[in-house]
């Protein structure tokens, strides 16, 4: 093993990078677990909420694109914030990425396990112990795949993402033929005007909608392993955002038109299957379950990648223990960091056995992750605006895309996160904010590492 070794160069191309970016947002999984939560918060304004949040996240995406062109780094937001704003802020930014990745490891594998059981053992899909056991098995399997190299993982990811998108696109096409009039009526009746929201309603919906769009930034964490590291990851991020934005808004319209608000709430995390059940006879409608399973597994794989690369970058810079920067001699992956994420995910799954309801864990994790995403995305956007504050005045386009839009997006994220946190229950706040505050402890230990 060698701390000085480099991640495998040119392992990913544009197609693989886009597949990883789309998988990072996990379209089918996100639609399944978040649609009822968002509709419960804002009702028929959910498509408008996704539109406005998509515009906010576009500003964050532009910030990541500009920063990656300037500094391609596996640490991505951690490295940029630390370099441009302050080392401590960079450390907390990286810590937030690590925390969200671990939390998402749990929240992604539970739907994957449920979908797996629905396909192979339907009678056990509601048994908590069976769900936790299968979820833990998925974590171990994907961790094994991830440590063997990003190229092999990307091939598997591309296939899974292609199947997932094909299934979602097929459902949307069928829905447009079968329920075209209902969708048209809904489009003519809902409002997309900002005045339709109160400040409280917008804030409550925005934190949930942020979770919809989270995950595409993993393409920047893989920049050192991507061909043309300063350009291709940013292009992949923008393409990924365009794909998922269209998918999310289209599915929200279809869900409201076919199921209505009561039907969405009744379906809960099975909303895609409920739609497919209205369009296809069984067992063909179970393709929706397959899509959710592939989406959840794919997002788990991407989450492991983001955790490992962020921890690798922090260790390489001397801010974490050097062991996490060691690369496997053959596969050139930060295998110890990857195994750490897998182990933490399994440990949290076992703790979930103590909770009365898995659904409560999912809902709390979605809201908690929303707070954490707002924190580190906002920091990265502000770092971009600060870095380009002088040179941007040479070009109106650069001024808007590197300063004005990212800064506006960062402020919007932080304001909505702050307003929503005031209404969250103690458990969700303890997970979302408490996990960030815990980062102060390793940040203090970091100074001891730097002195030694």
Q: What is the pLDDT of residue 358?
A: 60
Q: What is the pLDDT of residue 2?
A: 37
Look up residue 360 and give its two tokens.
């409560």
Look up residue 312 and give its two tokens.
């690798």
Residue with the bigger pLDDT between 3 and 353: it is 353
Q: What is the pLDDT of residue 450?
A: 60
How far is residue 377's CA from residue 64's CA, in Å, rounded to a whole number?
9
Q: What is the pLDDT of residue 411?
A: 94
The phi-psi region of residue 327 (left if phi > 0; otherwise alpha if psi is between -120 and 50; otherwise beta) is beta
Residue 3 banded pLDDT, cuts 50, 70, 90: very low
Q: What is the pLDDT of residue 233?
A: 94
Extents of the domains making up the chain: 14-451
Dihedral pair phi/psi, residue 280, rounded to 5°: -130, 150
Whether the link from the prior residue into 118 is cis, omega within 30° of 0, is: no
Percentage of the chain lying above the pLDDT 90 cut: 39
Residue-wise pLDDT tens digits, 204-263: 788 788 878 888 999 999 999 999 999 999 999 999 999 999 999 999 999 999 999 899
Residue-wise pLDDT tens digits, 379-430: 999 999 999 998 988 899 999 999 999 999 999 999 888 887 777 777 777 7
How far is residue 215's CA from residue 77's CA, in Å, rounded to a whole number?
13
Q: What is the pLDDT of residue 362?
A: 64
62-80: average pLDDT: 94
- Residue 4 pLDDT greater than 60, yes or no: no
CA dist 179 → 251, 259, 264, 275 (Å): 13, 11, 16, 11
Instruction: Return the CATH number of 14-451, one of 3.30.390.50, 3.60.20.10, 1.20.1740.10, 1.10.10.60.
Output: 1.20.1740.10
Residue with the bigger pLDDT between 158 and 357: it is 158
CB count within 10 Å of CB 148 equals 16
Q: What is the pLDDT of residue 63?
A: 96
Chain-wide mean pLDDT for the chain? 86
């Amino acid at each position: 093993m060698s701390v000085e070794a480099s991640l495998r160069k040119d392992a990913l191309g544009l197609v693989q990078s886009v597949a990883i970016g789309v998988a990072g947002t996990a379209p089918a999984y996100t639609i399944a677990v978040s649609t009822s939560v968002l509709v419960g918060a804002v009702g028929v304004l959910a498509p408008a909420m996704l539109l406005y949040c998509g515009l906010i996240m576009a500003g964050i995406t532009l910030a990541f694109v500009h920063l990656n062109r300037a500094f391609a780094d596996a640490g991505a937001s951690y490295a940029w914030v630390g370099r441009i704003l302050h080392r401590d802020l960079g450390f907390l930014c990286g810590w937030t990425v690590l925390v969200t990745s671990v939390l998402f490891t749990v929240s992604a594998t539970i739907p994957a396990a449920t979908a797996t059981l629905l396909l192979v053992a339907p009678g056990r899909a509601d048994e908590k112990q069976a769900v936790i056991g299968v979820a833990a098995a998925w974590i171990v399997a994907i961790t094994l795949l991830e440590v063997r190299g990003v190229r092999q993982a990307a091939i598997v990811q591309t296939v899974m993402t292609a199947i997932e998108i094909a299934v979602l696109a097929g459902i949307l096409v069928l829905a447009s033929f079968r329920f075209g009039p209902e969708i048209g009526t809904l489009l003519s009746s809902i409002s997309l005007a900002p005045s339709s929201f109160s400040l409280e309603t917008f804030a409550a919906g925005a934190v949930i909608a942020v979770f919809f769009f989270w995950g595409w930034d993993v393409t920047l964490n893989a920049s050192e392993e991507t061909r043309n590291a300063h350009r291709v990851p940013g292009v992949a991020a923008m393409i990924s955002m365009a794909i998922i934005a269209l998918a999310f808004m289209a599915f929200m319209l279809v869900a409201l038109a076919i199921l209505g608000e009561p039907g969405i709430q009744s379906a809960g995390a099975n909303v895609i299957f409920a739609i497919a059940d209205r369009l296809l006879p069984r067992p063909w409608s179970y393709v929706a379950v397959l899509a959710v399973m592939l989406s959840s597994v794919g997002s788990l794989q991407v989450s492991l990648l983001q955790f490992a690369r962020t921890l690798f970058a922090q260790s390489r810079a001397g801010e974490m223990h050097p062991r996490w920067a060691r690369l496997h001699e053959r596969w050139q992956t930060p295998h110890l960091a990857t195994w750490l994420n897998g182990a933490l995910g399994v440990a949290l799954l076992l703790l979930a056995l103590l909770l009365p309801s898995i659904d409560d864990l999912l809902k709390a994790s979605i809201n908690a992750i929303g707070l954490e995403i707002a924190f580190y995305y906002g920091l990265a956007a502000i770092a971009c605006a600060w870095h380009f504050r002088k040179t941007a005045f040479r070009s109106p386009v650069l001024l808007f895309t590197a300063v004005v839009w990212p800064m506006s997006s960062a402020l919007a994220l932080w304001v909505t996160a702050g307003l929503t946190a005031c209404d969250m229950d103690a458990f969700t706040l303890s997970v979302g904010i408490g996990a960030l505050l815990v980062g102060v402890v390793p940040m203090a230990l970091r100074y001891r590492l730097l002195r030694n």
